[in-house]
């Protein structure tokens, strides 16, 4: 990420991808293309780490969106400017203030989108505001696949070296939503904690998408289907 910021050659986006994203890519060719065109795709979830190891990749651990964000702030401090896009009303501003107080980061701006598709005029306004703010890093806190599609759609409309989709990190770091205990996150049980905490919102993601992921992995293990 720092290399992209230093070179400032185009806009690169990072996707933090879990089981949900993998299943979306299996069913939606356009979403598969979005992941393939990302500057970096990292595994968010122990099932993907285990699957990667099975395929011979050196994956010591998952890349957890909230930890990625916080680690980057801790290492770089006030070296770069940051823009926060996403979250419920007031969440992005609260996140920016907390991260600035904790790590001394510099804030370029914040934007809270409505809970619907943006109109063309709204897209133009968002692009204008971000372009004017000229951040080094744009953090996108939507949900999969919304945030990946958003970054792909805006990659040629804003001159930002790095965009990073971090999902629920905005809510976690502001205390709006509780994180699973570390031991659950490290043993592939975060889904159970989050499902118990927000069943109405997350049941489809974890029960339907999760079962589809397991089914397709088993097909590959049995050599009944090959995935790229």
Q: What is the pLDDT of residue 127?
A: 97
Q: What is the pLDDT of residue 98?
A: 97
Residue pair 175/182 in contact by the 8 Å Cβ criterion = no
163 SS3 class? strand
Q: Measured at the alpha carbon of residue 131, what is the angle toward residues 166 and 115, in degrees to the nearest 5?
A: 45
Q: Does the residue 158 lie in any domain? A: yes
Q: Which residues lie across from 165 on neighbouring strands?
A: 15, 140
Q: Does the residue 4 lie in any domain? A: no
Residue pair 193/183 in contact by the 8 Å Cβ criterion = no
Total domains, the chain: 1
Q: Does the residue 1 lie in any domain? A: no
Domain that holds residue 77: 10-221
Residue pair 10/18 in contact by the 8 Å Cβ criterion = no
Q: Does the residue 68 lie in any domain? A: yes
Q: Does the residue 29 lie in any domain? A: yes
* Per-residue confidence in pLDDT tens, the chain, 228 aa: 999 999 988 999 999 988 888 889 888 999 999 999 999 999 887 777 877 787 777 777 788 899 999 999 999 999 999 999 999 999 999 999 999 999 999 999 999 999 888 999 999 999 999 999 999 999 999 989 999 999 999 999 999 999 999 988 999 999 998 888 888 887 778 878 888 888 888 777 777 777 887 777 777 766 666 666
Q: Measured at the alpha carbon of residue 26, what is the angle toward residues 118 and 149, in degrees to the nearest 5?
A: 20
Q: Does the residue 114 lie in any domain? A: yes
Q: What is the pLDDT of residue 226?
A: 65
d(CA 87, CA 140): 9
Looking up tokens 């372009």 gives 131
Q: Judge residue 123's burial from the number of C-beta atoms within 10 Å of its C-beta, 0-12 exposed, 13-18 middle, 19 or more buried.
A: middle
Token readout for 45 is 């979830």
Q: Does the residue 226 lie in any domain? A: no
Q: What is the pLDDT of residue 58?
A: 76
Q: Does the residue 213 lie in any domain? A: yes
């Amino acid at each position: 990420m720092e290399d992209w910021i230093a070179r400032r050659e185009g806009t690169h986006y990072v996707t933090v991808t879990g089981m949900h994203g993998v299943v979306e890519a299996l069913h939606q060719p356009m979403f598969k293309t979005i992941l393939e065109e990302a500057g970096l795709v990292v595994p968010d979830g122990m099932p993907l780490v285990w699957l990667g190891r099975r395929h011979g990749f050196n994956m010591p651990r998952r890349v957890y969106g909230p930890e990625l964000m916080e680690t980057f702030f801790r290492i770089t401090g006030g070296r770069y400017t940051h823009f926060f896009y996403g979250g419920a009303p007031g969440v992005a501003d609260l996140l920016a203030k907390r991260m600035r107080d904790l790590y001394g980061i510099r804030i370029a701006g914040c934007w809270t989108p409505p809970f619907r598709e943006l109109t063309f005029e709204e897209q133009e306004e968002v692009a204008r505001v971000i372009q004017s703010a000229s951040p080094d890093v744009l953090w996108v806190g939507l949900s999969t696949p919304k945030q990946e599609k958003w970054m792909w759609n805006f990659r040629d409309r804003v001159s930002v070296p790095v965009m990073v989709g971090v999902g629920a990190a905005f809510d976690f770091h502001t205390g709006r939503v509780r994180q699973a205990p570390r031991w659950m996150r490290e043993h592939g049980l975060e889904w159970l904690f989050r499902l118990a905490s927000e069943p109405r919102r997350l049941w489809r993601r974890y029960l339907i998408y999760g079962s589809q992921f397991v089914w397709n992995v088993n097909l590959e293990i049995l050599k009944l289907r090959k995935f790229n």
